[in-house]
Amino acid sequence: MADLVVYGTKMSPFVRKVEAVLQEKALAYDFEAVNIGAMPDWYKEISPLRRIPTLRDRTIGADGVAGTIADSSAICGFLERKCPSPALYPADAFDYGRALWLEEYADTGMAATGGFGIVRALIFPRFEGKDPDIETARDTWHNKMPRYFDYLEKTLNGEEFFVGNAFSIADIAVASQLLNFDLFVGPPDAARWPGLARFVVTMRNRPCFQANLTACRETIAPLLDTPVALT
């Protein structure tokens, strides 16, 4: 049994973000699935905002609220302090602020728009035996996501990473969202967003994401043909 345990579902980009940090830092952890559709009472106790993931550090508390942190950004910050190497937050003050901003941009803007409009529209109906909502996903992909892709393409500015020419929490957070879209509909159009398309391929192949993506593909495969054509 590992000291750390992650509660959540592999399909969550926020779980993917936390797992990527754990993998980068080579920290052992257990994973316990939580049914977000019928969230158990014990989980509501440790995650009062009813969100995933939650992390438990068993060296602090093995039961109840003790030893738990219930937010992906807070969890990643904790893991950075607990295991500072390799550093995933920039040392420079401005770069640090920029990395936190891009994490927030991904976690709030991209997740809300693409998560509801693409991922939920395609996969949630399948859990109920219904057809995926292709029209909602198509509208989101073509009319709502481009402004996010435009900003990220400009911010990336032809570089491999978003901040300080080094892999950081900014890349992990943005990639965690983009890889969710990639699982369902593919990467952004390389003709329009060449830097961002390259970034997705790079992150798709980065070892810290591999276990999570494999688990997600196994979940999706029986429910949906992917990538879904949204042309």
User: In this structure, what CATH number is given to the domain that contains residue 98?
Assistant: 1.20.1050.10
Residues 6+ apart with CB under 8 A from 231: none
Same domain (yes/no): 61, 100: no
pLDDT at 223 over 90: no
Confidence of residue 230 (pLDDT cuts 50, 70, 90): confident
Residue 15 is part of which domain span? 4-82
Share of the chain above pLDDT 90, in %: 90
What is the pTM assigned to this prediction? Answer: 0.96
Q: Which long-range contacts (CB under 8 A, 24 or more apart) does 185-189 make?
A: 185/118, 185/122, 185/137, 185/141, 185/226, 185/227, 185/228, 185/230, 186/227, 188/145, 188/149
Residues 6+ positions from 132 with CB-CB distance below 8 Å: 121, 122, 123, 125, 126, 224, 228
Handedness of CA 123, 128, 131, 133 (dihedral sign): negative
As a whole number, mean pLDDT of residues 194-212 equals 98
- pLDDT for 148-198, tens place per residue? 999 999 999 999 999 999 999 999 999 999 999 999 999 999 999 999 999
Question: Burial code of 146-171, b = ≥16 C-beta within 10 A, e = fewer?
Answer: eebbeebbebbeeeebbbbebbbbbb
- The total of structural domains in the chain comes to 2
What is the reported pLDDT for 128?
83
CB 175 within 8 A of CB 207: no
Q: So what's the pLDDT on residue 228?
A: 83
pLDDT tens digits for 64-92?
Answer: 999 999 999 999 999 999 999 999 999 99
Does a structural domain hold residue 198? Answer: yes
Q: Name the average pLDDT for the chain.
A: 95
Residue 112's pLDDT band, with cuts at 50, 70 and 90, is: very high
Based on the domain organization, do 8 and 66 belong to the same domain?
yes
Residue 178 forms part of a structural domain: yes
- Residue 230 domain flag: no
CA atoms within 13 A on the CB side of 153: 18
- At position 120, the amino acid (one-letter code) is R
Residues 58 and 108 in one domain: no
What is the per-residue pLDDT across 43-57, written as a single tens digit (0 to 9) for each? 999 999 999 999 999
CA torsion 122-123-124-128 (nearest 10°) is 110
